[in-house]
Amino acid sequence: MIENFLTWLESLVPDTLGNVQLIEAGVASLLVVVALGAGWILSKYVGPKLRHLWETRAGYESELAGRRIRDMTRRFTTFILCGFFIGIYDWSLIAQVILALTIAISMGLFTNDLIRGVRMPDWLGTVMGLTVFGATALGLVGNIDRITTAMSRVGVDVGTNRISLLVVVSTIMTAVILLAVARVLMKLVSHVISNSDLDGAQKVLGQKLATVAILGAAFILGLDVLGIDLTALAVFSGAFGLAIGFGMQKTIGNLIAGIILLMDRSIKPGDVIAVGDSFGWVNKIGVRAVSVLTREGKEHLIPNENLMTQEVENWSYSNKNVRISIPVGVSYNTDMDHAIKLMSQACDDVPRILTHPKPVVWMLEFGDNSVNFEIRCWIKDPESGVGNFKAAVLKRVWDLFREHDIEIPFPQRDIHVRTMPAKTAVPIASESADSTKIPAAE
């Protein structure tokens, strides 16, 4: 249809080369306007739907991300339409340049938005956008061969292989673009897994396996795009195996230990654990270490291998219910039944204590200064803190004991003197140069 339209326009003007080029340039410009308008319409009506789909699938809401999605939709639509237009007709040079520049600008801006959208540095997005713009424009116009030939000549020979500037630039561009696409896919897959019905450990394991699979696929695809034969990597397999066996022994050991921990679900994100002097809840299970967040806000990074070889107290392995023991002492002059009743009431007044199992108060022993009791109660949220819970129970016990005049004894010593001996006066000699003081008799 476009060819017939151009033939009809050319029949209306004198058949000269300049007139033909101007007509085709005008038609190409009109097609560019059509492509830009179609892109604007799709970004206006389809962009919000794509934004909603992204927020639903990726779990990331941002006004900036919404604008980038609309811009990427407009630029991708322009690129597709102009690419279609440039391929259906043998355009003259001016028209070809107009369409090629539109395609190159659209691809450059699209690449820039993609790089920045996955939270890579802004400068990297600008550099990649300009590079894609230049490569696309020169490739469509037909002058890319000279540049690639010149870049191929700049390089060094390493054995039988040659590392040229063209190889380096192509490798960097391929790696950056594939990494950006991989980040988008990892974000989508991670959100899908996190919203699934799997438990915490299975979700983390699924996210890690998906990350490894996506990065592995991106790596293999990058090698294929760059034209690198996979059999060439067999030369490095022996050295790589030795590196894993010696230099990366601990790293690989921690990685495997982390996968085992996630598979047998002995430790899950959110569990309250105690390892040595570290006590807190598991914040994250990483590739190398487990992050344990304490009540003080400190984050202890414990290697995964240590959790496999050391004894670990997991307070929430099968369930999160934890029994807390709180010692309390009362005076020997206290009504013990009344004290037990008050301690039970203190347990009822603290909201974090579970009613099932029911809290109990045990009389343990007759101490030197007090009758020692122990309050035993259960909580289901140890990650909210144990020390603050004990403080709340003891504070309530203290208030009830004071209201009912129950004494909490403390160690003290009283000396009872039955008789006092008569004081004997001892004369004190006056001071002299060679005399000494005689101390008074006690």
Q: Among 142, 171, 201, identify where a domain stops.
A: 142
Rounded to 5°, angle at Cα 111 from 108 and 112: 85
Considering the domain architecture, whether residues 25 and 130 belong to the same structural domain is answered as yes
Q: Rg of the chain's alpha carbons, rounded to an integer?
A: 40
Shared-domain flag, residues 374 and 298:
no
Same domain, 386 and 306: no
Phi-psi region of 227 (alpha: psi -120 to 50; beta: other; left: phi over 0): left
Whether 305 and 357 share a structural domain: no
Preceding omega of 357 cis (within 30 degrees of 0): yes
Among 96, 91, 106, 80, CA closest to 139? 96
23 lies in the same domain as 135: yes
Same domain, 93 and 34: yes
Is residue 37 one of the residues assigned to a domain? yes
Same-domain check for residues 103 and 118: yes
Q: How many domains does the chain have?
A: 3
**Averaged pLDDT, groups of 10, the chain, 442 residues long:** 55 52 80 89 80 63 70 88 83 81 87 81 81 78 65 69 74 83 81 72 75 84 73 58 63 78 78 83 81 83 84 80 90 91 92 89 89 92 84 93 88 70 55 46 42
CATH code, domain carrying 331: 3.30.70.100
- Is 276 in the same domain as 356? no
In a domain, 200, yes or no: no
Are residue 106 and residue 124 in the same domain, yes or no? yes
278 within some domain: yes
Same domain, 272 and 391: no
Asked if the structure places residue 221 within a domain, the reply is no
Domain stop point among 142, 162, 195: 142
Instruction: Tell whether 148 is covered by a domain.
Output: no
Q: Does residue 330 share a domain with residue 253?
A: no
Residues 310, 289 share a domain: yes
Residue 98 counted as domain residue: yes
Write the CATH number for 250.
Answer: 2.30.30.60
198: in domain:
no
Structure tokens at 175: 């790696």
Domain limits for position 370: 322-403
In this prediction, residue 141 carries a pLDDT of 66
In a domain? residue 151: no
Model pLDDT, residue 398: 93
Residue type present at position 243: A
Q: Give the end of a domain, one of 299, 315, 331.
A: 315
